Amino acid sequence: MDRTLIQELLEVVEQAAIASAHLTGLGKKDEADAAAVEAMRTRMGSIAMQGRIVIGEGERDEAPMLYIGEEVGSGTGPGVDFAVDPCEGTNLCANAQDGSMAVLAASDRGGLFYAPDFYMKKLAAPPAAKGKVDIRKSATENIAILSEVLGLAPSELTIVVMDRARHKGLIAEIRATGARVKPISDGDVQAAIACGFAGTGTHCLMGIGAAPEGVISAAALRCLGGHFQGQLVYDPAVAQTSEWADYTKEGNIARLNDMGITDVDKVYEAEELASGENVVFAGSGITPGLLFKGVVFEADCTRTSSLIISSLDRSARFTDTVHIKEGAKSIALR
């Protein structure tokens, strides 16, 4: 992987975000997802690389595009592994709610954890808390640590938690410490990454979301020096999701074992989920959010706001791109 890839990957997520943004608010989540997938795949095709999807939109039989194992790119050049979520937060996009984005993580071959399509308990926090908070500790203990290392009272800390039945106890525990809970309906990737930056008003992500999204979050936080840990969730009684209505704990453990995961309770650090020598994260807002303004359509241009984080040059670039329409007469400078 070299630095020219950074610019290419920026364009990949910008194109995916624009494609989904045309379907924002229409209540069509699958269509918004498909549009992003198509745009992402097309733009990836013109990058000189031997790309491979390790986390994608499903197995070969279920998804027409960007399925796990699919090869992307021109077919010559460096080998690059990708974890993609072309429309992360499809419900948010379909309902024109904040927080959806086109997102991917890239690394050298073998540099991203092949996360199963399971749930994952996650803990994300700012760099100052790295290695100090711990997913094995209680929320109460972690909030005390956060308060200490960030120099903020619990009442000045905002903890993002997905708004799910499984988090009833967690939310009550956090509130009992005096910290603020910000429930989100979807989109824990953006919330996790927001923890990596001061000034986002987001100090910690706690609770259970999806495992593939955990790898993408880990890639970004690893580059930022932030804290991220993940632990797979295999017990349907813990996940409390209709998706797992027909699954059993034993069956899920057997599925993990079949995938080569024998230590099912392992706590994965960011550096294990995104272990490659070089790691790049790229995200572009579809709707506004903690990190971006999202796609804005204007008469003469389309504007995108994005974030590329790269270990190649130890940078986090926030970009605002004006995509100029043919025959444009005036472009506002904002």
Find the binding residues for Mg ion in span 86-115 (CB under 5 A): 88
CB of 187 to ligand VTB, least distance (A): 5
Quick one: 47 or 290, whose CB is closer to ligand VTB?
A: 290
Helix/strand/coil for 142: helix
Asked if 269 is part of the footprint of Mg ion (rule: CB under 5 A), the reply reads no
Contact with ligand VTB (CB under 6 A) among 51, 73, 86, 89:
89
* Binding partner of residue 14 among ligand VTB, Mg ion, none, CB cut-off 5 to 8 Å per kind: none
Asked if 243 is part of the footprint of ligand VTB (rule: CB under 6 A), the reply reads yes
Of 195, 25, 180, 14, the C-alpha closest to 94 is 25
Of 15, 102, 151, the C-alpha closest to 281 is 102
Of 88, 136, 86, 83, the C-alpha closest to 113 is 83
Contacts of residue 15, Cβ cutoff 8 Å, sequence gap at least 6: 39, 40, 42, 43
Other beta carbons within 10 angstroms of residue 205's beta carbon come to 28
**Number of residues lying near ligand VTB (CB under 6 A):** 12
Contact with ligand VTB (CB under 6 A) among 213, 227, 230, 289:
213
Contact with ligand VTB (CB under 6 A) among 11, 14, 81, 88:
88
Asked if 236 is part of the footprint of ligand VTB (rule: CB under 6 A), the reply reads no
The per-residue DSSP string of 312-329 comes to: TTTEEEEEEEEEEPTT--
* Binding partner of residue 269 among Mg ion, ligand VTB, none, CB cut-off 5 to 8 Å per kind: none
Residue 174, judged by CB atoms within 10 A of its CB (0-12, 13-18, 19+), counts as buried
Contact with ligand VTB (CB under 6 A) among 5, 135, 210, 274:
210
Asked if 56 is part of the footprint of ligand VTB (rule: CB under 6 A), the reply reads no
Find the binding residues for Mg ion in span 28-87 (CB under 5 A): 85
Percentage helix, strand, coil, to 5, in the chain? 35, 25, 40
Asked if 189 is part of the footprint of ligand VTB (rule: CB under 6 A), the reply reads yes
In whole angstroms, give the CA distance from residue 45 to residue 166: 40
The residues of the shown chain that bind Mg ion, judged by CB under 5 A, are 85, 88
Tell me which residues touch ligand VTB (CB under 6 A). 88-89, 164, 186-189, 209-210, 213, 241, 243
